[in-house]
Structure 1
């Protein structure tokens, strides 16, 4: 018994020595209130937030945590620029409120992060874009003098980072914009704007790689997720999309210097009341020759979706378009497996590929999409310039070559 007690005491003392020799460096907390931020919903806190960022970013020993407590913090346009000396945790438990007048934001993005590694944004708070006043101004397709509206939150040249838990509400334009971002996780985020709010894309990304989006709710007036030129190795799972225009790749091919899009997995996802579900769109008159390849869509439920599966290589959102020939975007190596549910349009599977660059190696496995629209009759499929194979249950009947 005495030996056991002595051994236990020795273990405890060794444990204490080990703990003392490896001290845990806690993050230093930078509370925005201590830098003069006021949660009265009307004082512009841009300078206070910028000063907090400068202090947190410059800290050399240990990590920094910027904390936004509960309350409503009015915020004009802000930019948080690195590189920083350490990793930054940005915890938002309060509401950040944008100016309601779009002219009061003098930059493309309301809250912008640039040139940062190891940025971790989390919290139970809300980004309130106050977009209602801006939406009627969003008429650029017919008005060349339309005002430039700000996205809610942007990330450019931000790597090895993540965003978790926060809500983005009523953006003026898109909610989250990613440009040249690599190794980034988006989890448990809520994105919401009315279904008739124009161009309020949920998540937009271009020239990005290794982006993971999971357990996220997105309802907007445009694409839930928009994947643009030069993006690769993207994984999207357990997303609820609706209202909105689905998960879209493109539009692609309009501009001369576009890059390939490759490596996309969308799985275990629900589209509810969206205009489209799975969507790839390329301009009919392409300025660039690029390849879209290695896509997998698996275990996806469609609930009253206009076009559940829509490959559109004659994309023309605002006629009349210049019709200079076929799309030069090559789509290949697509697998669609276990896609099921209901469509509101009779054409549940629209596969309109380019005559000059037909779609190649498109694999359909267990498709079950029933028509649930006003016009009666079973669902149908349209195929143009597409080669591939089909197996398993097939509703509507496929039309692959």
Structure 2
């Protein structure tokens, strides 16, 4: 009996060992770009090696994949990472990805582009160096119809349930991070940097997106820190520092016929430092579309020597003369807009500009505790202007409000 009991225990232990050994592990498979032939010498084009890594990681059928870019400088021509993938992808960048200095060497609109992917995570201490200095003098498309196409640093199109964290985007040729038809995406701890005089280097640009979170991010560029375009809904921005740049801009809107509503935007705990604008909504006066801009909340916003702290401009015309003199007022309807605890200093005497459409006046605009003091070379206190707007004001008001 003792022998049988001992044999039974041995068999049970063996079966437990087999079960444990056959149990699938949750650890992702690591794909180090160095093992696929990439060279961190800052000269060799690693586009083919990175594409090969992506195909292997994306095509893995069991378990998640982790692509790792170690420290070093990896020169990278234009590259596109396509899905759908068979598993979640974690892309860790600890090195520097270096773009071609010559813009003609990138044969696509976006230098590093992710498309048709779910469950993508990008993180690391690495840098996306767009080497934009050579491209900025070429950015004259407003007056030169033959201007070259310049590539943005990184783009996401049809990417869902994903995130980017801690990466630095440096000196893009044009915009830094572009989002199109992206849903449920988190942007956290990102740093975006370009000189204040670098043209059209928008920090984060998005259109036809929903459920985007942007937090704990520092943006300093030569254009909008964040540009919110047609069809964007449920956007939450918090703990962002912006400057230099043109502020957080909605628009421009209304120029094209196929544009969609922009709604449900929340901006909280943001600092604008030395920007040309802070809170900005811009629509073309000669609208080609009738769309709605609604349900916006701006709260706890600090302005430090901002040119135009609050600016609703429904007569947007960056390069006059414009067509609106023949086509009439903007058809973009702005409504349900709350601005609460907006404080700091304005470089221009006009600190609050609410210039709405005569055909579609702004509705239900609420100002609560606005304190913006004039700190520019002109003398006198800050002022406000209102055109074609209905709303209310309460609490502390500097400048004196002009709402009906």
Is 1:276 the counterpart of 2:273 in the alignment? no
Question: 1:197-224: CA deviations, max 9, x gaps?
Answer: 0000000000000000000000000000
Cα distance, 1:22–1:351 mapped onto 2, change above 3 Å: farther
Task: Name the structure 2 match of 1:25.
Answer: 26
Is 1:234 the counterpart of 2:239 in the alignment? no
CA distance in 2, matches of 1:194, 1:257: 33
Give the TM-score normalised by structure 1.
Answer: 0.95
Match of 1:339 among 322, 342, 359: 342
Task: Name the structure 2 match of 1:261.
Answer: 262
Is 1:133 the counterpart of 2:134 in the alignment? yes
CA distance in 2, matches of 1:25, 1:259: 42
Task: Name the structure 1 match of 2:186.
Answer: 185
Counting only pairs closer than 5 Å after superposition, residues 208-223 of structure 1 correspond to structure 2 as 208-223=209-224
Task: Name the structure 1 match of 2:387.
Answer: 384
CA distance in 2, matches of 1:127, 1:264: 28
Question: 1:196-252: CA deviations, max 9, x gaps?
Answer: 000000000000000000000000000000000000000000000000000000000
Question: 1:137-189: CA deviations, max 9, x gaps?
Answer: 00011111100000000000000000000100000000000000000000000
Match of 1:329 among 332, 347, 368: 332
Task: Name the structure 2 match of 1:293.
Answer: 294
Task: Name the structure 2 match of 1:398.
Answer: 401
Structure 1 segments, 4+ long, off by >2 Å, are 16-24
Question: 1:241-300: CA deviations, max 9, x gaps?
Answer: 000000000000000110000000000000000000000000010000000000000000
CA distance in 2, matches of 1:148, 1:382: 39
Task: Name the structure 2 match of 1:157.
Answer: 158
Question: 1:90-144: CA deviations, max 9, x gaps?
Answer: 0000000000000000000000000000000000000000000000000011111
Deviation of 1:19 (Å): 7.9
Question: 1:323-380: CA deviations, max 9, x gaps?
Answer: 2100000000000000000000000000000000000000000000000000010000
Cα distance, 1:388–1:20 mapped onto 2, change above 3 Å: farther
Task: Name the structure 2 match of 1:362.
Answer: 365
CA distance in 2, matches of 1:228, 1:300: 21
Deviation of 1:24 (Å): 3.6
Deviation of 1:21 (Å): 8.6
Question: Which structure 1 segments of 5+ residues have no match?
Answer: 1-12
- Secondary structure (helix, strand or coil) at the match of 1:368 reads strand
CA distance in 1, matches of 2:150, 2:178: 13
- Secondary structure (helix, strand or coil) at the match of 2:132 reads coil
CA distance in 2, matches of 1:252, 1:160: 27
CA distance in 2, matches of 1:308, 1:69: 42
Question: Which structure 2 segments of 5+ residues have no match?
Answer: 1-12
- Secondary structure (helix, strand or coil) at the match of 1:221 reads coil
CA distance in 1, matches of 2:82, 2:24: 30
CA distance in 1, matches of 2:245, 2:370: 22
- Secondary structure (helix, strand or coil) at the match of 1:51 reads helix
CA distance in 2, matches of 1:272, 1:391: 26
CA distance in 1, matches of 2:383, 2:29: 60
Deviation of 1:25 (Å): 1.7
Task: Name the structure 1 match of 2:374.
Answer: 371
Task: Name the structure 1 match of 2:319.
Answer: 318
Aligned length: 387
Cα distance, 1:361–1:132 mapped onto 2, change above 3 Å: same
- Root mean square deviation, CA, Å: 1.3
Cα distance, 1:325–1:20 mapped onto 2, change above 3 Å: same
Give the TM-score normalised by structure 2.
Answer: 0.94
CA distance in 2, matches of 1:236, 1:100: 32
CA distance in 2, matches of 1:307, 1:193: 21
CA distance in 2, matches of 1:297, 1:20: 55
CA distance in 2, matches of 1:55, 1:24: 19
Task: Name the structure 2 match of 1:243.
Answer: 244
Task: Name the structure 1 match of 2:39.
Answer: 38
